Amino acid sequence: MSELQFPLKNDTSRKIIHIDMDAFFASVEERDNPELALHPLVIARHPHDTGGRGVVTTANYKARQYGIHSAMSAQKAYELCPKAVFMPGNHEKYREISHQVREIFAKYTDIIEPVSIDEAYLDVTHNKQNIQSAVKVARLIQQEIWQEVRLTCSAGVSYNKFLAKLASDYHKPAGLTLVAPDEALAFMQALPIEKFHGVGKKTLPKMHELGIFTGMDLYQLGEMELISQFGKMGYSLYRKVRGIHDSPVNVTRDRKSVGKEHTYGNPLTTENQVLAQLRRLAEEVDKSLRRVAKHGQTIVLKVRYADYTTITKRQTLNQYIRDKDQIFSQASLIWEDVLGLEKGIRLLGITVTNLDPISYENILLPLWEKKTE
């Protein structure tokens, strides 16, 4: 597919990226315990431990070969693959990694719509890096996610959210698919109808009864016929299959934290190196807080060693802080409680949480102005 470039001056088409982490929870567990990648892995409590209750959160690609998928009952997953490894998952760890991934997104755009813990839409029409190719932005994001958290994601690039989502699903894992405006109709018409988001288990049988098996079949039906059969959804599908979907990328969630972290190819092994990096991170967090006009009460320090063990410590203060010197000072105090350079440090991160907007700042002024003569 051809490279998608940013619009000319009078071209108002948008550049939307949909990022979907590949088998997110399962991939995190495989990263932290590589032996798990050799087996079908199901993120759910074992049905023997729950009396057959519980559902599958996700499964790795080996487990999916047995027909196991998200939202399936854990009992059914066990019946399909009794030899599968079942794990309850660690949602605090997954949330932390999701936050790291979103910080990578924020390097490129502030127009981010999280759909869930493992996927998001990004509007990069006017991105912070002034990169003209939306595909290049998506590729850079994929590379940074791999470098920072050692996980893969799939990316879809197009001019609206519906197409970007279809594109990210098209080639997984670690895929990058572009659907350019002049390719959109052919792309959708070739897809099985079940690939269209919104066509679920209840709708699919009715689609098949009406002879709708592909995007082409859907395209050939008239607007009123689709509305009569499917109501509002029919009207939406009529527009979408024609490449019309104007829904914006909605930045609806207020930021609860601001953080920065860096991964080091050569692990840090001296106190001076650590303090220098903490100073650098504090300056970056300061800039980010100023950008969103917020300050926070809790400082979080994250340390990952060369053997991939990770320590996270936090300190809640009596006052709000935003200044780089204050952030550095508090992070340094937390570091004194962590220490331990023997294994080498692969990653350092500072996050400020418990954020509030800054409505005004107190400025200390002299009681009298000093006269100059």
Per-residue pLDDT at 354: 87
Q: How many residues does the chain have?
A: 373
- The answer to whether residue 368 is domain-embedded is no
Of 60, 90, 120, the position where a domain reaches its end is 90
How far apart are alpha carbons 329 and 325 in whole angstroms? 6
- Domain membership flag for residue 7: no
Of 291, 274, 257, the C-alpha closest to 331 is 274
Q: Which of 119, 144, 225, 373 is catalytic?
A: 119
Rounded to 5°, the CA angle 182-140-58 comes to: 85
Q: What is the CATH number of the domain that holds 201?
A: 1.10.150.20
Whether 20 and 31 share a structural domain: no
Q: Which of 12-16, 29-33, 191-195 has the lowest mean pLDDT?
A: 12-16
Shared-domain flag, residues 273 and 319: yes
Residue 110 marked as a ligand binder: no
Burial of 298 (0-12, 13-18, 19+ CB in 10 A): middle
Nearest to 29 by CA among 41, 17, 21, 19: 41
Q: Residue 30 belongs to what domain range?
A: 25-90
Longest Cα–Cα distance of the chain, Å, equals 94
Q: Is residue 112 part of a domain?
A: yes
Do 220 and 349 lie in a common domain? no
Same structural domain, 78 and 176: no
Structure pTM? 0.69
Cβ neighbours, 10 Å, residue 320: 15
Tell me how far the alpha carbon of residue 172 is from its chain's centroid. 16
pLDDT(2) > 90: no
Is 3 inside any structural domain? no
Does residue 97 share a domain with residue 38?
no
Task: At 219, list the tokens.
Answer: 């395209």
**Is residue 20 marked as binding?**
yes
Same domain, 167 and 234: no
Q: Are 268 and 277 in contact (CB under 8 A)?
A: yes
Nearest residue to 57 via CA among 27, 89, 85: 89
Question: Domain for residue 362, yes or no?
Answer: no
The CATH number assigned to the domain holding 40 equals: 3.40.1170.60
Q: Is 119 a catalytic residue?
A: yes
pLDDT bin (cut points 50, 70, 90) of residue 291 is confident
- Would you say 27 and 21 are in contact if contact means Cβ atoms under 8 Å apart? yes
Domain-ending residue, one of 183, 211, 226: 183
Q: Is residue 11 part of a domain?
A: no
Tokens describing residue 169: 């699903």
What was the pLDDT predicted at 6? 40
The kind and range of the H/E element at 157 are strand 153-158
Are residues 100 and 151 located together in one domain of the fold?
yes
**Domain stops at, among 74, 90, 106:** 90
Per-residue pLDDT band for 252 (boundaries 50, 70, 90) equals low
Is 207 in the same domain as 333? no
Between CA 209 and CA 81 the distance in angstroms is 33
153 neighbors 134 (Cβ within 8 angstroms): no
Residue 254 is predicted with a pLDDT of 62
Averaged confidence pLDDT in the chain: 89
In a domain, 290, yes or no: yes
Domain match, 137 and 148 both: yes
Q: Which residues contact 57 (CB under 8 A, 6 or more apart)?
A: 25, 43, 44, 70, 89
Specify the pLDDT at position 253.
59
Q: How many domains does the chain have?
A: 4
